[in-house]
Amino acid sequence: MAAQRFDRVRAAMADRGVDVLLLSVGADLPWLTGYEAMPLERLTMLVLPVDGDATLVVPALEAPRVRERPALFALRPWGETEDPVAIVADLVGRARAAAIGNRTWSQFLLALQGSLPGTAFRPASEVLGPLRAVKEPDEIAALRGAAAAVDRIAAALQAGEIPLVGRTEADISAELSRRILAEGHHRVNFAIVAAGENAASAHHEPGDRVVQPGEIVLCDFGGAMVGADGVGYCSDITRCVHVGEVPAELAEQYAALRAAQAAGVAAATVGTPGEAVDAAARRVLADAGLGEAFVHRTGHGIGVEEHEDPYLVAGNAAPLVAGNAFSIEPGFYLPGRWGARLEDIVVATPDGPDALNRVDHDLVAVDR
């Protein structure tokens, strides 16, 4: 699998006239090699020439973490007194066009630009974005496993197994995080818990606000779970629950949200532009008078990274292709009152949209 991925990357580099690919921190490197660089000041960098052998330049003290794959890349550990930028520059040699990972520290890009005045640098996303956005079957299986894990947590929330009343948002968030790990993820990416009027803030930071009876509680959580090839794939789900009976006005608004989310999922067919999926969901909320309250895009791609191509947003005319995986997550936010969001991960397939999250989409009332 990994060898095929190297071949596809080299073909994409050749297509785009890229002589060498340089990957450091971020999701590109683990997607390609299974190794994730530590986000530290010591340089880790894969140097992958379009027509030569690849080398992973890595701090000597981190080299033992690398699962060696001599058929794919050589390992070049560097000692504390060596200059890793000089080592990389030497490997890049006379390459004229380099594609460098978008998340690479600017410190290293600037140093490489200084050492390689004849090399033009472009973002690696030009080469890797289209490849990473089309998931292979083992990647979809990994996403499905991660989605099933967070579905079980959402089901526990809806069943009232996670007490809410009298607890702070931060405390509930910590419990969601523990459950994310207990369900087999190796990393928690986030666990947003927003109660009452805080649910009107789309990316609320869970704090010391205590949940009261009669409130909506928005929970948006996810992490990364190791799947095929030892690489972590992400989960991301949002469900809202309501402590006690749902007020009629909120029930009506939530019904529109649920219809908008279903419309977004139904629209996410192969060949449909990302912006058309966004419009399909947005139209339903606008018709319900909540268009102004839907303040963000409808969704984002997901894979090794929580947010990646394709984005379902006005302005993205690129049609979905089979194997794209993305969230469908419309929401509405009424400052000072409440808000809600509903999110599933969906895969575009030749047979239509395949929603990976299956847990109840209702605004479930819980009693504690």
Q: Where are the alpha helices (DSSP H) in 274-326?
A: 274-287
- The token duo for 208 is 């010391």
Least Å distance, CB 199 to Zn ion, is 13
Least Å distance, CB 226 to Zn ion, is 20
> C-alpha distances in angstroms, 29 versus 100, 103, 232, 350?
11, 11, 12, 29
Least Å distance, CB 331 to Zn ion, is 10
Task: Give 19 or 220: the residue with its C-beta nearer to Zn ion.
Answer: 220
Least Å distance, CB 32 to Zn ion, is 24
Residue 236 engages Zn ion in binding (rule: CB under 5 A): yes
Task: Give 33 or 238: the residue with its C-beta nearer to Zn ion.
Answer: 238
The H or E element spanning position 72 is: none
Least Å distance, CB 327 to Zn ion, is 4
Task: Give 55 or 238: the residue with its C-beta nearer to Zn ion.
Answer: 238
CA-to-CA distance for 80 and 94, rounded, in angstroms?
A: 26
Task: Give 236 or 278: the residue with its C-beta nearer to Zn ion.
Answer: 236
Least Å distance, CB 192 to Zn ion, is 7
- Cα-to-chain-centroid distance, residue 39: 18
Task: Give 183 or 220: the residue with its C-beta nearer to Zn ion.
Answer: 220
Residues 288-327 touching Zn ion, rule: CB under 5 A, are 327
Give me the 96-135 binding string for Zn ion, x by CB under 5 A, dash otherwise.
----------------------------------------
Size of the site for Zn ion (CB under 5 A): 5
Residues that bind Zn ion (CB under 5 A): 220, 236, 238, 327, 343
